[in-house]
Amino acid sequence: MSQPVAFTAAFADLEPKERYKLLCASVTPRPIALVTCVSPEGVVNAAPFSFFNVFSEDPALIVLGLQHRPGNTPKDTSRNIAAAGAFVVNLVDEALAEAMNICAIDFPPEVSEIDAAGLSLLPGVTVPVPRIAEAPFALECRKHSAISFSPTRELLIGEVVRIHAREGLVDPRTLRVSMDGYKPVGRMFGDGYSRQNDRFDLRRGTYAEWLAEKKS
């Protein structure tokens, strides 16, 4: 039986698919943004992204890593957001996971993933893009800016202008979120996803507390 060995590699020596494999399998779990947007023809599209995260709270910014189709043509999400300047990030919980996976199918532009997945919509309040009614959280966003790094990759920055939460998830007085009620799922690698039902707390101490512990 071979002994386990440490691994290191220069990314300049790896093909993009190899970099993707290592990055996606090591940076886990990742939150999932099920993004809704509207085409110029009025079709509501929904697509999941796990190259996604919160970037800042002041201003309130999120980032999405968008990949173009083979031939470097933009996908529906990129094209629609560029045209409308707005979108909605719908967060994914356990109850929404199956429908999210249907939305990942490469449907033609005229087909709405919302209809295909059997989801329902609620109108946007601050932006002219609907949100998914079944989502535990929805972030209405305006396009802030986009950075093109290559013919195939674009970083989209969106400013969050409104948040919606399902009943019972947010305490309106303390703004605390009930994780037991939320039940978010995370993206792993390949076909893998994770539940967030095995958590632990670590209180961040102060420097004075750390010094006192070292002296004791």
- Residue pLDDT tens, the chain, 216 long: 788 999 999 999 999 999 999 999 999 999 999 999 999 999 999 999 999 999 999 999 999 998 887 776 788 889 999 999 999 999 999 999 999 999 999 888 888 899 999 999 999 999 999 999 999 999 999 999 999 888 888 999 999 999 999 999 999 999 999 999 999 999 999 899 999 878 888 999 999 999 999 887
Helix locations, the chain, DSSP H: 16-26, 76-84, 97-103, 113-117, 179-182, 207-215
Per the domain annotation, does 7 fall within a domain?
no
Per the domain annotation, does 1 fall within a domain?
no
- Distance between CA atoms of 175 and 91, rounded to whole angstroms? 17
Per the domain annotation, does 31 fall within a domain?
yes
Helix (H, G, I), strand (E, B) or coil at 35: strand
Domain CATH for 44 = 2.30.110.10
Per the domain annotation, does 8 fall within a domain?
no
Per the domain annotation, does 37 fall within a domain?
yes
Strands 137-148 vs 153-165: parallel, antiparallel or unpaired: antiparallel
Angle in degrees, CA 191, 76, 80, rounded to 5: 135
Which residue, chain included where needed, has tokens 């990742």?
Answer: 30
Domain membership of residue 112 as a residue range: 13-215
Per the domain annotation, does 43 fall within a domain?
yes
State the total domains in the chain.
1
CB 32 within 8 A of CB 48: yes
Answering whether pTM is above 0.85, one says yes
